[in-house]
A and B are shown apart, each in its own frame.
Chain A
Amino acid sequence: MSAARFYNSELRLVLLRRRNLLLLAVTAIFPLIIGIALRLAAPHPDGGNGGGPAFFSQVAGNGVFLTFIALSTLLILVLPVVVAVVAGDSVAGEAGYGTLRYLLAVPAGRARLLAVKYGVIVTFGLCATFIVSVVALLAGTVLFPVGPVTLLSGTTVSLADGLLRLLFVTLYVAAAMAALGAIGLAISTLTEHAIGAIAAVMILVVTSEVLDNVPQLAAIGPYLPTHWWLSFDALLRAPADTATLLHGLLSFGVYAVLSGSFAWARFTSADITS
């Protein structure tokens, strides 16, 4: 009961920030831009065969694919930025304002504060991911024909099945963002400078993505935090590649637990000097 009230207060605080609303607006605009660009570039419904991931060429035939294109494009930078801003700001921002000492003197409880912060980070990441999917789906429906979905494995499934797979893809991406959020929360407990924490999260993401693309480092690839993010295309096969999905979810879980433990150990033992 009291935890729900604290969570609501925290969520409202995050959602009332103009900066955060702007970020959500940006995640909504990108799928529109991508959709329009693809519509202009692919005038022939069954002709286009451009570059990019396997499903890029399919959007002209089925608007549902705009969602997968939007998610995979925004996962490279935009969604991580959105999560990094809220997660990096979570504890460091309070420390910067000085409100952290008052929250703890209330007393909010250190572990409880951390749990509420993380709950809101996950919620915000989930919102951003669903905004991308929903806007892309609407734009795809308007800009392209929509019908039974031909999967990457060649099988064609009903539109309802396709939309169900879209839901799982969105949840998978949200899980990836939840793991990133835990990393951001941990980094946020280390500093009083929100901008520094946000930058650190982004540097981590970009470094991981770069290392993941160096062939000579293929051995460490699977252990990088961003490696499994785009593996959601495993859901676009029949049967779904569950082994890959489970690997991905395991990776997210391990990163979330390790980062969460670190954040807890650090935050429950550190002197609040802000």
Chain B
Amino acid sequence: MQPPSPATSPLTTTAISTSERTKRFRGGQLAVDHIDLAVPPGAVYGFLGPNGSGKTTTIRMLLGLAFPTSGSAALLGVPMPDGATRVLHRVGSLVEGPAFYPFLTGTANLARYDAADRTADPATARARIEGALDRVGLLAAAGKRYRHYSLGMKQRLAIAAGLLQPRDLIILDEPTNGLDPQGTREVRALIRQIAADGITVFVSSHLLAEVEQICTHVGVMRTGRLVFQGSLTELRHTGAARVTVRTADPEAAAKVLAGLDLADPQATSGEASAVLGGVSPEQICAELVHAGIGVRGFAVTSPSLEDLFVGLTGEGFDVSG
């Protein structure tokens, strides 16, 4: 069954929505486990997770390349995969790296994909192809065979293919994978430009830094499940602030913190800490002094985004980039 029909205007329709979407491979492995994605229109949505957490399988299902085991999904309000031929021409995509014909030039490769699109106007094909190549900075290499392209150029050509037609949504799977820092910057700048044009961008990554720099919303995957979804601000708020006390007697300090009903009190050498919760720092400080503990340092810290991601995804998440 489809989810309740969203509003018909493309401006108010959720760009991507899935409900209980599940994919079990033939071997029985659960690759995507009941995920409910909601990508608001105009968002730059970072789809995060370690390699193997189900991101690419989710994207393949979104684009109708893989068929779901259960659940429903809609792109721009059109149910998938049934509506694939009705909606995909409004969606640009890059899935698991660029793929083109090595013996064709950049222009000929784009013309090939354009020719396959029944909604594309052949009369404007040349202008649209040149426009797309120009946009990704490949006009100078347009006549070069694809096999002679550098990795960064290949990646940009794939993005150009996604821009051949006016799009409402761009889906990019690991667009900076394998790129050097310069290539990464170029692709990131390109994504910002696309988003500035009002196109919804759904970008998957296993790199936190990338998402943190360009995204407004995030979804975090872990072993096939969507463990967090929301704006970056909302994600920051999920982290519980901790109070840390530097003292010569951490054991006693931890006891005081526990006495204040703070969660997870811990004592390490020279430090005691606990989750701040609803207790005010001033009160903790007063209690510590009252208990006769010599306080050398006192700090309230919120976890970094990095800590939050590691907490959500477990080990294996590449936070350093």
Per the bound structure, the CA–CA distance linking A63 and B120 in Å amounts to 51
Within B278-295, the residues touching A (CB, 8 Å) are none
A102 at the interface (CB under 8 A from B): yes
A13-B112, A113-B116 are contacts. A104–B161 as well, Cβ < 8 Å?
no
B246 at the interface (CB under 8 A from A): no
Tell me if A271 and B66 are in contact (CB < 8 A): yes
Report the minimal beta-carbon distance from A169 to chain B, rounded to whole angstroms.
Answer: 35
Report the minimal beta-carbon distance from B60 to chain A, rounded to whole angstroms.
Answer: 7
Tell me if B95 and A99 are in contact (CB < 8 A): no
Tell me if B115 and A107 are in contact (CB < 8 A): no
Report the stretch among A4-12, A44-52, A150-158, A223-231 that lies at the interface: A4-12
A218 at the interface (CB under 8 A from B): no
Report the minimal beta-carbon distance from A235 to chain B, rounded to whole angstroms.
Answer: 39
B301 at the interface (CB under 8 A from A): no
A3-B118, A108-B116 are contacts. A99–B63 as well, Cβ < 8 Å?
no
Main secondary structure of the interface of B (DSSP, over half): loop
A6-B116, A13-B101 are contacts. A105–B95 as well, Cβ < 8 Å?
yes
Tell me if A107 and B89 are in contact (CB < 8 A): yes
Tell me if B115 and A6 are in contact (CB < 8 A): yes
A17-B103, A107-B85 are contacts. A101–B65 as well, Cβ < 8 Å?
yes
Per the bound structure, the CA–CA distance linking A105 and B113 in Å amounts to 10
The chain B residue with its CB closest to the CB of A95 is B99
Contact of B96 among A6, A98, A103, A269 (CB under 8 A): A98
The chain B residue with its CB closest to the CB of A98 is B99
Tell me if A102 and B103 are in contact (CB < 8 A): no
Per the bound structure, the CA–CA distance linking A271 and B27 in Å amounts to 14
Tell me if A106 and B65 are in contact (CB < 8 A): no
Per the bound structure, the CA–CA distance linking A97 and B158 in Å amounts to 14
Q: Chain B residues near A54: list those with CB within 8 A.
A: none
Tell me if A105 and B115 are in contact (CB < 8 A): no
Report the minimal beta-carbon distance from B141 to chain A, rounded to whole angstroms.
Answer: 19
Per the bound structure, the CA–CA distance linking A260 and B102 in Å amounts to 29
The chain B residue with its CB closest to the CB of A100 is B99
Best-buried of B96, B116, B118, B161 by chain A (most CB within 10 Å): B116
Per the bound structure, the CA–CA distance linking A181 and B231 in Å amounts to 53
A2-B118, A271-B66, A272-B66 are contacts. A106–B113 as well, Cβ < 8 Å?
yes
Tell me if B67 and A269 are in contact (CB < 8 A): yes
Best-buried of B64, B84, B85, B122 by chain A (most CB within 10 Å): B85
B111 at the interface (CB under 8 A from A): yes
The chain A residue with its CB closest to the CB of B161 is A102
Q: Chain A residues near B97: list those with CB within 8 A.
A: 98
Tell me if B116 and A272 are in contact (CB < 8 A): no
Per the bound structure, the CA–CA distance linking A101 and B113 in Å amounts to 11
5 contacts between A and B (CB under 8 A): A104-B65, A105-B93, A106-B89, A107-B117, A271-B65
A interface residues (Cβ-Cβ under 8 A, vs B): 2-3, 5-6, 8-9, 13, 16-17, 97-99, 101-109, 112-113, 269, 271-273
Q: A98-B96, A107-B84, A107-B88 are in contact. List 9 more A-B contacts (CB 8 A).
A: A13-B101, A13-B104, A17-B103, A97-B101, A102-B161, A105-B93, A106-B117, A109-B118, A113-B116
B interface residues (Cβ-Cβ under 8 A, vs A): 60, 63-67, 84-85, 88-89, 91, 93, 95-97, 99-104, 111-113, 115-120, 122, 161
